[in-house]
Each structure stands twice: as structure tokens, then as C-alpha cells.
Amino acid sequence: MAEFTMELNEDQKQVRDWIHGFAADVIRPAAAEWDEREETPWPVIQEAAKVGIYSLDFYAQQFFDPTGLGVPMAMEELFWGDAGIALSIVGTGLAAIGVVANGTEEQIGTWIPQMYGTPDDVKVAAFCSSEPDAGSDVGAMRTRAVYDQAKDEWVLNGTKTWATNGGIANVHIVVAVVDPELGTKGHASFIVPPATPGLSQGQKFKKHGIRASHTAEVVLEDVRVPGACLLGGKEKLDERLARARERAAAGGGERVKNAAMATFEASRPAVGAMAVGTARAAYEVALDYAKTRTQFGRPIIDNQGVAFQLADMRTQIDAARLLVWRASWMAVAGRPFTAAEGSMSKLYASEVAKKVTAQAVQILGGNGFTREYPVERMHRDAAIYTIFEGTSEIQRLVIARTISGMPIR
């Protein structure tokens, strides 16, 4: 029988320590400045590129870790450094994964390098899916892609929102409707090359947290892209649409929908790991503060009211990490999420991040409410985890539907 272990192997420990060192030495010292500036931290991204963290090769190595722990381990350490800067570093990966998962070998070889650029000339990419009226409800998407057969071009029109790196990206990946009658099954993804006419940045959002990460609307007005920019190619799209129409006619649409939801489910542990990183960072600040801050002649951690909070914080962080690791291992091992374990990990870790960062602010008292201490920023950053990649309410809905088998609304 194979030995059961929850210990990272030596290679994983080396990678973890390497990333942690970068987060401690490069990301964390720059966090407050870029949060205040609310700008993309290009110098930090460039440093990440120089050491090899900002690259497709790095994410590929973590993704193909046979234990499944490579990605959550990397996310936790980067977001321990700072959530806003870390999201600027990993945001391109969302678009890159979209190309790797759905694109042809030629598309991967052509566009991935243009997403990252070089260490001397770094670029970023954007994945554009959400819309003003289509966030959790992806079926309400309105951005259209119409094929111009005479020119072998696709014409895109619509507005995307909440796009990380939207408008400043070298390459945009845009999800659009190609067959409205098929609902979510009639969607396809397109590569919008650099400097394509008709694509522009709309509103840039001034956010509560993760302010070092650029978030904006992307406006598409008669954007024409070559037929070769349809991810996977038109032949593959036509075959997929034909199967979807056949299933819809046979009453099998719900099965296809659930398969799509399972794809989203598999990506959620990575967000849970981000939340764990932020929670852990806030807990460590609070613990150090409680051991050194004295009131009434003794450290405040001597008071049960503080000590018990820290005990709960650590317990909840470790529990959240274990849920993330379980889901990540299940995904790489091909184990089905029969109880929506991916959503469980994201839901719990997100809620823990909000709670732990709030407790950290409370433990620091008035100091925690100032920008002189990082827990104030961490508390603001933590709010995003219960919102993006599916809100906590959506996670609970997914879990409830999965464990009950009922169409809960």
C-alpha cells in the first residue's frame, strides 16, 4: 500500500521557498506603494519575469505537478506577498490557460509568447468574459461574433467588464455568442491581436481592494479578427455546435450544461489558495503584533480574548488550505467532484479570508485601521474572494444542487 503523506516533497519545498522569497523581498515591500497608486506594477512584473515566475513555463510546471499541489502552493505564496500585485502577475495566466485549453498548437505557439513578452519588454494579456448584465448569469451574455465568410473574418461587437488587464493587454481573449439559440453552449472564444481596430478600454474601475491590479471595461465595436483567431478553429466549432443542437433536440441540454459547470468547478481551488495566502498574511501580522504589543503591563496575547481569536484564525486557515489541497488533488487525479468539492474549497477559503483579515484589524485596534499597517489593505483585498470566480452565493447554490440533485433556485 502506498504511503499516505501530507508533506510536500523536497522539490515542492524548494519551489515554495523560492516563491516565498520573491514575495517577501520584492512583492511585499512594493505593496503599499502600488495600492496607493492604483496602477499596474510593471517593475514588479518585470522582476517576476527575470526570475522566471512571470512565464508560461512556470505555470505549466505547477499545473502538471502530479500531486495537484503546485498551483495552490504557488498562489498561496504569491498572494501572501500582496493580493493586488500577485493578481497583476498571475492575471495573464487566465488568458493563457484559455488558449492552451482550447487553442490549436499553432495558436498556442503564436500567441502565448505575445502575451508575456520578454523580461526586457513585458506584456500582459486579458481574459474577457463578464459583461454588465452577465456576471454569474453567463447565459445573459450579449457580445456577438458574426462570421464574414467572404473575408474569413469574425466581427465582434459588445462590452466586457471586470476584465483584469482589460484595455492595457497586448492580447485579449474574448468570449462571445456565435449562436444565441444555444444559450451557453453557443459561446466561443476569440483571440484579439495587438492594436486591432475597434477594441478600446472603457471605464477603469477604482476598486475597494486589489488596487494594484488593473480592472476595466473592454469595448468592442466592429472588431474584425482573422478566422484563424477563433480558438480551436471553425471546423471544431461547427462540430461542437452541431452536437449541441442534436442534444438540445433530444432533450439533453441539461447534461451539457452540467459538464460546463464542472469545468468552472475545477478552477476554483486556485482562487481558494489565493484567499488562504491573504488570510495567512493577516494572521501572521496579528500574531506578531499580539506578542509584542503590551497593555496593562503584559502582551495582549496573554488575554484569552485575543489568544482565542488567534487560535480560531489559525485553525480556520489550515482547514481552508486542506479543502483547497483536497480539491486540487481530486482534480489532477481525475476524481469527480460529487459534492462540489471545488466550490467548497473556494467558498470556505473566501469566507475565512474575510473573517480572518477583519479579526486581524480588530486585534491591532486603532493601528489596524490605519494604512501604516498592512492588515487594513489585506482586509480590503479579501473582499474580492467572495465575489469573483463565482460569488459565495453561487458556490452555495452549486454545492446545494450537487448534494441534493435538485434544481434549487
How far is the CA of 396 from the CAs of 64, 343, 356, 371, in angstroms? 29, 8, 20, 34
Residue 329: φ, ψ to 5°? -65, -40
**DSSP code per residue over 110-154:** HHHHHHHEETTEE--EEEE--BTTBSS-GGG---EEEEETTTTEE
Q: How far apart are CA 69 and CA 324, in angstroms?
A: 9
389 catalytically annotated: yes
Residue 247, classified by CB atoms within 10 Å of its CB into exposed (0-12), middle (13-18) or buried (19+), is middle
Asked if residues 130 and 203 have their Cβ atoms less than 8 Å apart, the reply is no
Catalytic residue among 265, 341, 351, 389: 389
d(CA 234, CA 257): 22
| Unique residue bearing C-alpha cell 503564436 | 110
- Identify the bridge partners of residue 190 per DSSP, sorted by sequence position: 174, 230
User: Of 91, 210, 186, which is closest to residue 138 (Cα–Cα)?
Assistant: 186
Bridge partners, 160 (sequence order): 218
Residues near 261 by Cβ (< 8 Å), separated by ≥ 6? 398
Distance CA 46, CA 54 (A): 8
Active-site residues, by number, are 389
